[in-house]
A = this chain, B = another copy of it.
Amino acid sequence: MRIGLDIGGTKIRGVVLDDDGSVRASVRHATGFGASAVIDTAFTVVQQLSERVGLDCSQFSSIGVGIPGTVDIHTGRVTHAVNLGIVDIELGEALSVRTGAPVRVENDVNAAAMGAYHLVGGSAESMVYLNLGTGLAAGIVLGGELWRGTRGAAGEIGHIPIDPRGVVCACGQRGCLETVASGSAVARLWPEGREPSIRALFDAADHGEPPALKARRVLVENVASALRIIVLTLDVELIVIGGGMSSLGEELLAAVCGVLKRWELESPFLAALDIPGRIRFASAGSDMAAVGAALVGRGGHTLPETLEAAR
């Protein structure tokens, strides 16, 4: 049995995954702020999962962790996880020493992509998980395996500039896709909103408020752009949309497909690619990312040396 941890800005979700791929236990806890609080909470989640299935922490085949920030998958080091108050921690080492189990740490979007592939991807030869959260990023699964790229930057499509006249992005470039197609784009595109959430924006647009209608149009068109970029580069069989914005489900799907269908009228080339037919949604609030983290842990024992040294 394997443990998967999905460490997010507000909570840590943990699952125990059986060898047949089914979830045996599931736990969640509010994430603390700062390096030691994150490690403590993660360890607490592992302990509670252990109790649930009647094993000692060290008896799990692996612990896989998905976490935001820059992750060195070889060493388990995590840097720049701003939302978690983490500047630089040896998360893999810390967890493997405390639990006695081999740990593998992965970028949160990649971990969620593995979960999406397991739970939604079916037998697709290729799949992209498009995370529409605060930011916009994709995780790529080819032949059942994560494609991370040579420097872990594969799927960083949120930082492709798509409008030379756009605003400056946090990455320093101008007009990045993320500035117009993500949760963080809502507040900027719709400053009139009382509550700058995607749900509130869609509701206000449904009530016909012009600023909301305009902001929704920009947002939806650029999500469609993201899908088009994915297909025109990777041409994957399936695209699974997840993250905060995906909670809109059918509503978002209908809006995005409306844009794609309009584009298809002008371009038989685009129509032949049938982008709408490739889209699926991850069900919001599921254990998908934690399941994915458990699957990532399967990929090898990142920290056996550390573990041996600590024993």
- Name A's B-contacting residues (CB within 8 A): 125-126, 138, 142, 147-157, 159-164, 171-173, 225, 228-237, 263, 266-270, 272-273
Contacts and interface: CB of A to CB of B under 8 A. Distances in A.
B232 A153 contact: yes
23 contacts: A125-B150, A126-B149, A142-B142, A148-B235, A150-B235, A150-B236, A151-B235, A151-B272, A153-B232, A153-B273, A155-B233, A156-B232, A156-B235, A157-B233, A161-B162, A162-B162, A171-B267, A172-B267, A172-B268, A172-B269, A229-B229, A230-B233, A233-B233
A154 B267 contact: no
B273 A151 contact: yes
Contact of A232 (B160, B172, B266): B160
Contact of A171 (B126, B150, B162, B269): B269
A270 to B, nearest CB: 7
Contact of A236 (B125, B149, B155): B149
Contacts of A164: 163
A272 B156 CA distance: 13
A179 to B, nearest CB: 13
B142 A232 contact: no
Contacts of A266: 172-173
A156 B234 CA distance: 9
A263 B173 contact: yes
B172 A231 contact: no
Nearest to A267: B172
Given A160-B228, A162-B162, A228-B160, A235 B149 contact: yes
A291 to B, nearest CB: 24
Contacts of A151: 235, 272-273
A71 to B, nearest CB: 14
A64 to B, nearest CB: 22
A100 B69 CA distance: 57
Given A172-B267, A173-B270, 18 more contacts: A126-B149, A126-B150, A138-B233, A150-B237, A152-B235, A155-B235, A157-B233, A159-B270, A160-B232, A161-B162, A161-B225, A161-B228, A171-B270, A172-B266, A172-B270, A173-B266, A229-B233, A230-B233
Contacts of A228: 160-161
Contacts of A160: 228-229, 232-233
B229 A153 contact: no
A230 B173 CA distance: 16
B232 A234 contact: no
A216 to B, nearest CB: 17
